[in-house]
Structure 1
Amino acid sequence: MKILLVTHRYPPHTGGVETHVREIAVRLDAKGHDVTVLSADATANINRQNVDDGVLVQRYRSARPGNAFYIAPQLVKAVRQSDADVVHAHNYHAFPLLFAALGVTGQQFVVTTHYHGESNNDIRNALLELYRPLGRWAIRRADDVIAVSDWERQQLQADFGVDATVIPNGLNKDRFANATPEPNAEPYLLCVGRLEEYKGIQYAIRALSELPEYELLIAGRGPYMEALKRIASEEGVADRVTFLGYVADDRLPGLYAGATAYVTLSAVESYGMTVAEALTAGTPCVVRESGALTDWADRDGCVGVDSMAPAAIATTVREAINCDVDAATVPDWDDIVERIVARYD
């Protein structure tokens, strides 16, 4: 089967959608399918065309207002000229999905929306509202729509009247299971992710005043770092907050395994990949009851919190650390690709 995957970005760029697309691309190739990726992330530092683990990756330049949307209308022609059996586009929140919808002719058209209903700032939300009629048309043009969580499925039904099939993100479970805990002088809580205000790490920092026995390790980079450092100083907990910056892939499983609890308080998510990683490493999780993270609150090893007050978060942390963790329900990528191919068929 010839499969064309269309996305806004592809590794070495990092992110949930980027990881998702690469994981399914290389596994589809390994199963004998002819896979090509079209992405809208061409820069002077990345080859316009390369082969990644057997997958042909073709990159196009795009306009990126606010480092978002990835407007690359040349994708319409690229999709239209392809001889793919299936065109599988990703990410409602960027324009390549729309251009894929405009380009498909006789190919089967599949969409994985990674939809979270809103963005993380007012300007992007206003632009997304203007985009909604086009986005609705693009989604409804699909022969099949895939959501990565039940929460997302419900949002797609409410916002667009679309019935989606839930196929979640997978995980390289062997990478996280039985990881050797990273040693630390004091017990620590862990946050992992891009440092943006909507990720809610500031609430974890403020909760440290109620959790004097713990340090907080923060893995990730982003524009909100200086603000987070200022908050830690204002709260008088700067000596118990460590900013790790970028963490290499081979270190991350040990960080999860060594944490007393993993804490994610993001306001906007369509799945929650880091929760799956933490659970597979055997670490209990505190999740904000917002967006798709609400789906995790019912899992063994996860406890939800709906208040961002320090005392509420601290109480939830103490509840979570006494939970039994069961990672059996976290799917691996091979299972996910089997389910996606079944939808293609």
Structure 2
Amino acid sequence: MEGPMNIVIFTDTFLPKIDGVAVSVENFSRILSARGHNFVICCPRYGDDDPMELGERVKIVRFSNFALPSYPDIKVVFPLFRKIREAMTMFPADLVHIQSPGLMGIYGIIAARYYGVPAIGTYHTLVSEQTTYLSPARLLKIDRLIAFYRSLRGTTDRVSPARNNKKTLAQRAVQRSCNWLYEREDLIISPSHRIKNMLLEQHVATPIEVISNGMDLGVFRGSVKERPSTPPRLLHVGRISFEKNCDVVLNAFTRIRRELPGATLSIVGDGPALESLKAMSTRLGLADSVEFTGFIARADLPALYPRYDLFLTASTMETQGLVVLEAIASGLPCVGVDAYALPELIHHGENGFIARPFDPEEMAHRALDILADASRYRAFSAEGLRIASEHEINRCATRLEGVYARESARAGSRIVRMAEAV
């Protein structure tokens, strides 16, 4: 399709909330709107100060909702068909782009079918890994009473859910429902090859194309780090939620401190597991060496990463890993785990190491190996910058623009289509 395109995005999360989905939607809509395309972003309402546009060509339609009791950042959006009609006709839609398999994703499929336009979706989130927030104990907040009771008895409250390689019944059910939605789209965009392979193994029949979410290398502009500081400064950035396994990072850090007593760790971010992690840090005797910064504005992150020496993550649910991409673009070697997309950004033995999931002993061992060898450290930093360069945001936006044009062209004349729908 030639000329400007009108894209309607349906997402269960967006600004002012900051996460990988919101950042991806904001980045691509800003870049492609500057090239003349129009966007309408359908998303939850968070408050009275929510932005309602990102410029003349990017409009935002907010949907009323209620917060999930077990995780207030997750919004359950009401089906407001008046809002859907407003979004689809503000700029007569050429294509619907779904960013999440929640209720907004379902509304996006309905809108695309009603108005006769293609629907594509990006597989940003492994929703099946977040079923802990759907348990009755968490929804009714009984887990807080249990944690309080354990604190009185001096026992440890569990930071992370049970871990094994088998999917629970709830996880399998959620995975099937997500795949049901993706199979009703015309194309799936996967941010990584590993997620594409996972979908193929699950026999998802919809065509899949790999396009990175990208990184603005003009903002995250790192340089080669020659050697770690003495003592070293370690960093973890991200949503502080149970499925991110930040407790594994804390346990690894206790082992690192045995070898490097002056080492420090900063945990940047906010989320439902934060208070549990603070309590755990105190129990482990790390209160003086671990800093919990809470939320830090995204605009401040490019200046934050270079102040550290090594990035750690134990997350087992990354479809790409935005914070890892930010870290390597800032010149930091990384230690991650062998789960989903992380090995596509952390190349074992090249710009960091990959440890076994849920193994703090190996994570600590790998971190110490990097910090102990200055020549290896410098090589890892340089290779991370090279890997990050492959994800330059404008290059990724051009690929997405090509997908939009190709899929829109397959749908035929927009004018005829909209005349029939209205």
TM-score by length of 1: 0.89
The range that moved more, 166-175 or 199-208, is 199-208
Q: Following TM superposition, by how much is the alpha carbon of 1:19 offset from its aligned partner in structure 2, in angstroms?
A: 0.7
Which residue pairs with 1:332 in the alignment?
A: 392
1:210 partner amino acid: R
1:344 partner amino acid: Y
Inter-partner Cα distance in structure 2 for 1:309 and 1:141: 38
Which residues in structure 2 correspond to 1:77-88 (within 5 Å)? 77-78=85-86, 81=89, 83-88=92-97
Q: Give the secondary structure class of the aligned counterpart of 2:52.
A: strand
Inter-partner Cα distance in structure 1 for 2:181 and 2:19: 23
Change (3 A) 1:250 1:24: closer
Inter-partner Cα distance in structure 1 for 2:365 and 2:171: 37
Which residue pairs with 2:139 in the alignment?
A: none
Q: Give the secondary structure class of the aligned counterpart of 2:354.
A: strand
Decide whether the 8 Å contact of 2:128 with 2:174 is kept in 1. no
Q: Following TM superposition, by how much is the alpha carbon of 1:221 offset from its aligned partner in structure 2, in angstroms?
A: 1.4
Change (3 A) 1:137 1:307: closer
Which residue pairs with 1:30 in the alignment?
A: 34
Decide whether the 8 Å contact of 1:218 with 1:242 is kept in 2. yes
**1:289-322 Cα distance to aligned partner (Å, 9 max, x none):** 1222233332631210005343311111123343
Inter-partner Cα distance in structure 2 for 1:180 and 1:247: 24
Which residue pairs with 2:264 in the alignment?
A: 215
Change (3 A) 1:46 1:131: farther
Inter-partner Cα distance in structure 2 for 1:80 and 1:131: 28
Decide whether the 8 Å contact of 2:61 with 2:87 is kept in 1. no
Inter-partner Cα distance in structure 2 for 1:238 and 1:101: 48
Inter-partner Cα distance in structure 2 for 1:165 and 1:32: 24
Change (3 A) 1:320 1:97: farther
Q: Give the secondary structure class of the aligned counterpart of 1:173.
A: coil
Inter-partner Cα distance in structure 1 for 2:6 and 2:47: 29
Q: Following TM superposition, by how much is the alpha carbon of 1:87 offset from its aligned partner in structure 2, in angstroms?
A: 1.1
Which residue pairs with 1:139 in the alignment?
A: 182
Which residue pairs with 1:91 in the alignment?
A: 100
Decide whether the 8 Å contact of 2:316 with 2:337 is kept in 1. yes
Inter-partner Cα distance in structure 2 for 1:179 and 1:256: 11
Inter-partner Cα distance in structure 1 for 2:110 and 2:171: 18
1:228 partner amino acid: L
Percent identity of equivalent pairs: 23
Aligned length: 341
The range that moved more, 57-66 or 283-292, is 57-66
Inter-partner Cα distance in structure 2 for 1:151 and 1:176: 25
1:57 partner amino acid: I
2:194 partner amino acid: W
Q: Is 1:65 aligned to residue 86 of structure 2?
A: no
**1:37-70 Cα distance to aligned partner (Å, 9 max, x none):** 111x1144245x7221331111111244344363
Change (3 A) 1:220 1:310: same
Q: Following TM superposition, by how much is the alpha carbon of 1:257 offset from its aligned partner in structure 2, in angstroms?
A: 1.3
1:152 partner amino acid: I
Which residues in structure 2 correspond to 1:284-303 (within 5 Å)? 284-298=333-347, 300-303=350-353
**1:258-316 Cα distance to aligned partner (Å, 9 max, x none):** 21210011122211011111111111000111222233332631210005343311111
Q: Following TM superposition, by how much is the alpha carbon of 1:126 offset from its aligned partner in structure 2, in angstroms?
A: 6.6
Q: Following TM superposition, by how much is the alpha carbon of 1:333 offset from its aligned partner in structure 2, in angstroms?
A: 1.7
Q: What do you get for the CA RMSD once the two structures are aligned?
A: 2.7
Q: Give the secondary structure class of the aligned counterpart of 1:174.
A: coil
Inter-partner Cα distance in structure 1 for 2:36 and 2:93: 14
Decide whether the 8 Å contact of 2:121 with 2:189 is kept in 1. yes
Which residue pairs with 2:117 in the alignment?
A: 107
Inter-partner Cα distance in structure 2 for 1:291 and 1:13: 24
The counterpart of 1:52, out of the listed 48, 51, 54, is 54
Which residue pairs with 1:171 in the alignment?
A: 215
Which residue pairs with 1:272 in the alignment?
A: 321
Decide whether the 8 Å contact of 2:88 with 2:111 is kept in 1. yes
2:200 partner amino acid: Q
Which residue pairs with 2:290 in the alignment?
A: 241
Decide whether the 8 Å contact of 1:209 with 1:310 is kept in 2. no
